[in-house]
A = this chain, B = another copy of it.
Amino acid sequence: MLSFANDYSEGAHEKILQKLIDTNMESLPGYGSDRYCDLAKEKIREACRCEDADIHFLTGGTQTNQIVIDSMLAKYEGVIAATTGHVNVHEAGAIEYTGHKVLELPHTDGKLAAAEIGHYMESFYGDVNHEHMVFPGMVYITHPTEYGTLYTKRELSDISAVCTKYHVPLYLDGARLGYGLAGENTDVTLPDIAEYCDVFYIGGTKVGALCGEAVVFTKRNTPAHFMTLIKQHGALLAKGRLLGIQFDTLFTDDLYLENGRNAIRMAGLLRNAFEEKGYTFYLKTPTNQIFIVLENARMRELQDKVIFDFWEKYDENHTVVRFATSWATSEEDVKKLISLL
């Protein structure tokens, strides 16, 4: 059956599989100290135009959020996130499990606003009793957000300025970063992200890898003994090559962005079709996730022919659903879907 359920339904880009085959019988040292990890790091540093970048590979997004946030926070600190932030809702309490509170702030279409963060900080340090409260120790944003929206360069720069003012790092969750960098009309580049963020991760799992996320510390700010902390969280792969080889491939010949662009192109075709046929958008997004408000009867009809994602109840008779494209989406499948609309 046709599937637009999400961006992790297929395996990996064929170039990644090919590279795994080509290197398979090489005897390599473990735990990320192999040369493919080194090569991948070098290529990412270059793509970020950030010579100092210190890069570590992890397996999945929740794991990455958990380790980065726990490692960078002091024990008395929590992390600021949008109420809709992935760490606040859909990670089963992985942050709290490490002892840290997620400090919720309101969002607009999944985004945090610099002013909102600034107001929180001001109010916190103005509170006479703030020593009985969790200190805000980091700002967490997603790009693209859970709603497929994107920050502008200006918005990132503003948030970064607030973080600098209050001496807290800015952390960007890039689970779908490839789809953000290739997003429609975005003015945000990878070097911009490396500049404005203190740490971020480049999502592999959802952009064509079997698994894997690349954490980038941009300001010579890697937590001490980060490798030991990764081990302590049970996240250190013995065969680190699995991650190194994948990111080496993704950052060779611009494959990572190419994966992103395919999803955006396919989403564009689909978005136009929804528009032409008069569907109601829940919100307009420039990335690979399209949110549509469907009448429930129509939704059930479509579900027989194509897999898509339930997002949330809209009202008694309508539902918000999500169609996601990806690096693997073919124009043929998009056309099939359009013909069903």
B-contacting residues of A (Cβ < 8 Å)?
Answer: 1, 3, 5-6, 8-12, 14, 17, 20-21, 23-30, 59-67, 70-71, 74-76, 78, 89-94, 96-102, 104, 126, 128-129, 131-135, 205-206, 210-211, 224-225, 227-229, 231-239, 241-242, 307, 310, 313, 328
With contacts A231-B91, A231-B92, A310-B128 taken as known, whether A135 is within 8 angstroms of B238 at the C-beta atoms is no
Name 13 A/B residue pairs within 8 A (Cβ), A-sorted. A11-B25, A11-B26, A11-B239, A14-B24, A17-B20, A59-B211, A65-B234, A76-B224, A76-B229, A91-B234, A92-B228, A93-B99, A96-B99
With contacts A70-B75, A131-B231 taken as known, whether A238 is within 8 angstroms of B93 at the C-beta atoms is no
With contacts A17-B20, A76-B229 taken as known, whether A62 is within 8 angstroms of B92 at the C-beta atoms is no
User: Which of B26, B66, B231 is close to A94, meaning CB atoms less than 8 Å apart?
Assistant: B231
A133 contacts which chain B residues (CB < 8 A)?
89-90, 92, 228
Complex-state Cα separation, A233 to B233, whole angstroms: 8
A228 contacts which chain B residues (CB < 8 A)?
76, 92, 131-133, 135
Complex-state Cα separation, A66 to B236, whole angstroms: 13
User: Which of B6, B63, B134, B241 is close to A96, meaning CB atoms less than 8 Å apart?
Assistant: B134
A101 contacts which chain B residues (CB < 8 A)?
93, 96, 102
With contacts A8-B239, A59-B237, A102-B101 taken as known, whether A92 is within 8 angstroms of B132 at the C-beta atoms is yes
A62 contacts which chain B residues (CB < 8 A)?
231, 234, 236
Complex-state Cα separation, A114 to B17, whole angstroms: 47
For A9, A21, A59, A234, the residue with the greatest tally of chain B CB atoms inside 10 Å of its CB is A234
With contacts A92-B134, A97-B99 taken as known, whether A67 is within 8 angstroms of B234 at the C-beta atoms is yes
Complex-state Cα separation, A131 to B92, whole angstroms: 7
Complex-state Cα separation, A99 to B101, whole angstroms: 9
Oligomer copy total: 4
Is the beta-carbon distance between B225 and A237 smaller than 8 angstroms? no
Complex-state Cα separation, A49 to B233, whole angstroms: 33
Is the beta-carbon distance between B8 and A24 smaller than 8 angstroms? no
User: Which of B26, B74, B89, B205 is close to A238, meaning CB atoms less than 8 Å apart?
Assistant: B205
With contacts A228-B131, A232-B76 taken as known, whether A238 is within 8 angstroms of B8 at the C-beta atoms is yes
For A27, A61, A210, the residue with the greatest tally of chain B CB atoms inside 10 Å of its CB is A27
With contacts A11-B24, A60-B237 taken as known, whether A76 is within 8 angstroms of B93 at the C-beta atoms is yes
The 7 closest A-B pairs by CB, nearest first: A63-B234, A11-B24, A92-B231, A93-B134, A92-B232, A3-B27, A96-B101
Is the beta-carbon distance between B97 and A78 smaller than 8 angstroms? no
With contacts A24-B10, A93-B76 taken as known, whether A233 is within 8 angstroms of B232 at the C-beta atoms is no
Is the beta-carbon distance between B78 and A96 smaller than 8 angstroms? yes
Measured CB to CB, the closest approach of chain B to A123, in angstroms, equals 8
Is the beta-carbon distance between B241 and A94 smaller than 8 angstroms? no
Complex-state Cα separation, A226 to B14, whole angstroms: 33
Is the beta-carbon distance between A328 and B25 smaller than 8 angstroms? yes
Measured CB to CB, the closest approach of chain B to A220, in angstroms, equals 18
Q: Name A209's closest neighbour in chain B (CB-CB).
A: B239
